[in-house]
Amino acid sequence: MGLEEKLPSGFLLTTVEQAVGLIRKSSMWPATFGLACCAIEMMSVGGPRYDIARFGMERFSATPRQADLMIVAGRVSQKMAPVLRQIYDQMSEPKWVIAMGVCASSGGMFNNYAIVQGVDHVVPVDMYLPGCPPRPEMLMDAVLKLHDKVQNTKLGAHREHEIEEEERRRLRTLPLVEQTEGAAS
Ligand code: SF4
């Protein structure tokens, strides 16, 4: 018995945006970007116990050109920041970023000159994940919430959001006087 015999007869109606959203969220390929202890928890979601393959994500991509999700798992050192940005730039559009754990989200307990105080200083972040380290279940919960976001994103809107993020980041790095002028204009 073929699949077509089990489908209801008639029409299935949807919008192009909904169909594209379904395709995008069902075939996300994460880039490997494990930086510290959080990466161990990230790796475990690929194993049989948590089995992230259920969501079409079993393939962690070694090349950023075939990845559309960056999971930043661990603290980002100042020296690593340009590398992270380069990998992000090499990923194909549209792309998303999860900051996994307090270190990636805000620097965490590493409030010092060597660590970037939140990866959103370097790339736009779509989802922040608390915890030190977050459990694999938390990462999977963040992934599913991101799937909902992807499903409901209008075509082209993700890029607009990214441009806004870029502008906010640029303003953050300017001296205070210039920031005030930039925000006023
Ligand atoms: S949040 Fe905790 S577990 Fe994750 S990288 Fe930082 S110190 Fe390690």
Structure confidence by residue, pLDDT tens digits, 108-157: 899 999 999 999 999 999 999 999 999 999 999 999 999 998 888 777 76
Domains with residue ranges and CATH for the chain: 15-154 (3.40.50.12280)
SS3 122: coil
Determine whether the annotation assigns residue 149 to a binding site. no
105 and 130 Cβ atoms separated by less than 8 Å: yes
Distance from the alpha carbon of residue 131 to the mean position of ligand 1, in angstroms: 8
Q: Could you tell me where the DSSP H helices lie in 67-156?
A: 81-90, 101-106, 136-151
* Helix, strand, coil abundance in the chain, percent, nearest 5: 50, 10, 40
Residue 80 host element (H or E): none
Mean pLDDT of 56-68: 86
Structure confidence by residue, pLDDT tens digits, 67-90: 989 999 999 999 999 999 999 999
Is the distance from the beta carbon of residue 91 to the nearest atom of ligand 1 less than 6 Å?
no
Is the distance from the beta carbon of residue 102 to the nearest atom of ligand 1 less than 6 Å?
yes
